[in-house]
Structure 1
């Protein structure tokens, strides 16, 4: 099992071991690692109790992307359901990317809890006194099934998922990090500020959040709060705002 001690991961891989531990998930994990994607594998998906451990919570929170392999017996594991609830919480509160993979199942069965998923959730309701918790699990399954993901019908899925994770999520984030770090080092040198590596790195992280926030605000305002920018959007306004913000921030 991977160590969780204050480590950060590119991907957290969630799955039910009985379905895919020695087959699909093993191949996917191997391919992710081969592509240089630092992946946390939850002890081969073995369920050890009803409540996920603090170490596992930390691993989820410290991951940029969570991949959830939804297979026939996924909902039978309370451990997996609790993982899913935490993953979706991180999606809402931390902006974590969540990618569902529907392994030999229909997404609509997950969304509406039909078939094996429906039977399993009914069993949970009968066996648990806490009906509210079961409803939270139901809501989580519906939410994750509505997200864009992959289906195992794709014959190249083991190769496509790592490529998609890298290109769509990690490459852009790492490029932004390099740009922010170089920009801060350049400004520090120009203004004669001390180039303390820890201070520069901390400001780099802040600057990334600032720039992403500015991009989102600019897009929303220019598009009338539409998900896509309008023809009237003015992309040149962002650099000016960014420059003023950086100058003020460097004086902290």
Structure 2
């Protein structure tokens, strides 16, 4: 399909049924493209290899059902792309191998915890990227991305429930390392430390033996990989009380006639 020219294309508050919605390889002109508060059903939503012009593209407030949302190999012009307040069901959000020439915002997405995958892998950004104010139950994938300007990660967190099945994905360490690098570049050092802790947990299974794994786990529990001062002091206090009690008990036994 082609929507050429400079006129706007609006799907504002449109409702799609319980089926897949496909805009694969669609070509949009330079007008604004709006999916504001559009409701998608439980099927997949696909914009793979879609080409957007230089107009403003918005999915603000859009509601996606359970299913995959795919924009793989899509190209966006100089206009901004926004998913502010977009709501997602149980599924994935895939923007791999994309080209973005304008500002891109995934700020304050609703129910981002339901996403099992959020990937921007191998994509290029000519302007800034904003994924702030989100809590994810997956590790956002920004590996192998070309970033020209700042990436905003303010108040972006990984859910305490991750990983949901107890085992980290083998690529989580790489993804976390990339996020940590971006946080350090933004001088968000506390966020970088928090990501480092999760990275160490993700890399634990790659340690060569059970002894090292248990030692690593003990370091995490006792000192949160060196982040916590109060935890070691608390355990030191417990040990001091324990040995004081043992010493006092032995002294009483030795002096009993």
TM-score (normalizing by structure 2):
0.25
Higher normalized strand content (fraction of residues): 2
Task: Say which structure is richer in helix.
Answer: 1
Structure with higher Rg: it is 2
Kindly indicate whether structure 1 or structure 2 has the higher relative contact order, using CA contacts under 8 Å at least 6 residues apart.
Answer: 1
